[in-house]
Structure formats: structure tokens, C-alpha cells
Amino acid sequence: MNTLAERATALCPRRILIVRLSALGDVVLSSGLIPALKQRWPEAQLSWLVASPAAPLLTHNAQLDELLVLPLDRWKQLWRTGQRWQAWHEFRAWQRDLRARRFDLVVDPQGLFKSGVLAWLTRAPLRVSLWPREGNQLFMHGCVRPAIPAAADRIISFEYRALAEALGAPGFALDLAVGEGPRQRAAQVFAQADVGPGPIALLAPFTTRPQKHWVEARWAPLAQALRAQGLQPVLLGGPGDVPAAERIAPAGSGIVNLAGRLKLDETVAAVARGQLLIGVDTGLTHMGIALGVPTVGLFGSTAPYLQGGTPQVQILYKGLPCSPCHRNPSCQGRFDCMRQLTLPEVLQAAQTVRQAATP
């Protein structure tokens, strides 16, 4: 049987679709598929199907020929308000439009049932997914199941790199673009917050699961230590992070608190401006890595990647017997894996990645 790379080569795709709907961090981590597929098939039109919350991460990417935003929220709203026939009618029209694009190759790095169904709706002659779950493989012609490497070889996005290589497209490199409008807006917000022209240390303490958080009381001393080194600490987060951000960075703390003040693509622009980023396992930390910002990642309940692939990235991870626990912590809320990451070692890692970035 031909390999996936041989099948893709024989197909010589003219239209390629990536299906990765969410989440924010995973969209960033799978963005390396864009240059990989473009390098392999430079004449092909490359599209990406994404859910609306993550769409701003891809809107400004010049290598994407088309961004398709799944109107799922619209269909749900129609269904909830009793307009079920209208919801079905709009879905069918969208499905026909999707199929009319005549994609030759669909790459599904999400590997879930919903992404598999969407890939199948294209009727593309070659559909390939990564680590299929929930019956995703039923909708695919081929699946990539890379083994999890040993810690020393677990480089960031290793699974997405393996997917690209399986298709004969080895040119994988994270690809996060900064739009000019978001850049100007981020600069405006920075100016309003009195962020000076000097070096900036971005702090990303927030994510969706408490077991992924570092000890909250340690962020302020970290910021103070960074200020003593001549860095301006800037706290980033979404609207839901505002209460916690205000605890970490109260008025007069010397920390610029921008939580909830930037849209997603503006946050990308803000991250690109940093000289250092320290964060937990969250999309903002992955943005820093993708944008080449010296980055320190604080991992505990999750440990998808332990190597940044560059000396400008360090991942701190204790690897306790119970780690990684993912969504099922057994420590009764102590989160020992994160608590054991001390302030001195975080500062040391920050110094190391900054020195690596110095010409």
C-alpha cells in the first residue's frame, strides 16, 4: 500500500483544506502546517476551517489563501429560538458551498468526530487526520498516530510536525502573523498604560484549568524581580481573567495590567513586542514561542512538550509520579507539580532564554 506521502504526491492537490476549529493554543501549535504545505505544494490554494473564537489568529496570515469560519454559533442560535428549518436550510447551503470548493486534500489535525464530519462533507479524495478519536477515523482515508517521544525529544508541536512529515511536507515552522491594524491598536493601548520604550516582560498566568496555574502569590514577586532587572512587567489575559489579574497586579504594584483590554489579534501584536514571556500552558505562551520571543513555560498537570527546539525557550516541569494528570488531579487541590516550581528557578530560566536571544 502506498504511504500517505506517496498518495498525496500522486494526487498533486490544487486545493488543500486544514480543519482545526479550536482551541487557541492548538491553532497556534498547528500553524506550522501552513508553511509546510505551502512549501510542498506552492501552487495549491490553501484554506483553513476554524471556529470563530480562534479565527483572529489566522486572519492576518498572508500564506493562507482563504479562511473559512464555521458559523456554528449562528446555527445554534437559530435552533434555540425555534427556527430549526432555517438552521437546517443554512447548514445545507453552507455544506453545498464547502463541497463546491472541490478540495483535493483535507488535513485534520484536530482528530475529533466533529472535525472528521466536516472533512467528510468536503468529499475530498484524500482526507488525513491526526490521532483520531471519537470515531474520527471513519471519515478519513488515512490517519497519523505518532508515538510520544521521550522527554528529551518531545519538541514543541511534535505531533503536528509528524503529520506534516507523513504527508511529505517537512517544512514545519510555527506561523503566527501580526496584522498592521492590531499592531497599531496594541501600541495605542501600551501608550495609554504608560508602557515605556524599554524592554518588556510579558506575564501569562491564566488558563482554563486551575491545575495548570502557577501559585498566584508568586507572580507579583516575579514581576518585582524582573523590574529590578530593567524589564517592565506587563500582565496579559482575557476578559474572564480580570478579577485574578487585579489580585496579582493591584494599583501601585508597578505591573501594567492589560487583562481584558486587548482583542485576540491585538494580543498577538502585544506578545510580538515583548523581550521575554513567562507563562503557564496556555495559548499566550505558545504565541510567544511562535513569534520568537524568549519564553519560559511553566508546566505541571500537562506536559505535551518539554523542548522548545531553540535555546530561547525553556520548559520547566517537575515530572512528579502523578504527573501529568491532565484533567484528573489527585492532589486534592494542592497542585504540587506547579508549587514546586520556585521563583529562583523561574528567574534563572528567564535569564537563560534572554541571554540566548542576545546577538
Tens of pLDDT, residue by residue over 93-141, are 999 999 999 999 999 999 999 999 999 999 999 999 999 999 999 999 9
Q: Last residue of some domain: 166, 190, 221?
A: 166
Average pLDDT for residues 206-231, to the nearest whole number?
A: 94
Among 82-86, 221-225, 243-247, 305-309, the range scoring the smallest mean pLDDT is 305-309
Asked whether residue 208 carries a pLDDT value surpassing 90, the answer given is: no
Residues 335 and 209 in one domain: yes
Asked whether residue 358 is domain-assigned, the answer is no
Residues 107 and 134 in one domain: yes
The 10 Å CB-count burial string (b at 16+, else e) for 242-271 is: eebbeebbeeebebbbbbebbebbbbbbbb
Asked whether residue 275 carries a pLDDT value surpassing 60, the answer given is: yes
Residues 110 and 207 in one domain: no
Asked whether residue 151 is domain-assigned, the answer is yes
Residues 340 and 210 in one domain: yes
CATH of the domain at 52: 3.40.50.2000
Asked whether residue 333 carries a pLDDT value surpassing 90, the answer given is: no
Average pLDDT for residues 321-330, to the nearest whole number?
A: 84
pLDDT at 242: 96
Tens of pLDDT, residue by residue over 74-86, are 999 999 999 999 9
Residues 292 and 322 in one domain: yes
Asked whether residue 1 carries a pLDDT value surpassing 70, the answer given is: no
- Please report, rounded to a whole number, the percentage of residues in the chain having pLDDT higher than 70: 100
Assess contact for 235 and 206: CB atoms under 8 A.
Answer: no
Give residue 53's pLDDT band: very low, low, confident or very high (50, 70, 90): very high
Residues 158 and 234 in one domain: no
* pTM score, whole prediction: 0.95
Residues 125 and 203 in one domain: no
Asked whether residue 172 is domain-assigned, the answer is no
Asked whether residue 174 is domain-assigned, the answer is no
Domain count, the chain: 2
Average pLDDT for residues 168-189, to the nearest whole number?
A: 97
Q: Last residue of some domain: 138, 166, 194?
A: 166
Asked whether residue 152 carries a pLDDT value surpassing 90, the answer given is: no
Average pLDDT for residues 283-303, to the nearest whole number?
A: 94
Domain interval for residue 59: 4-166
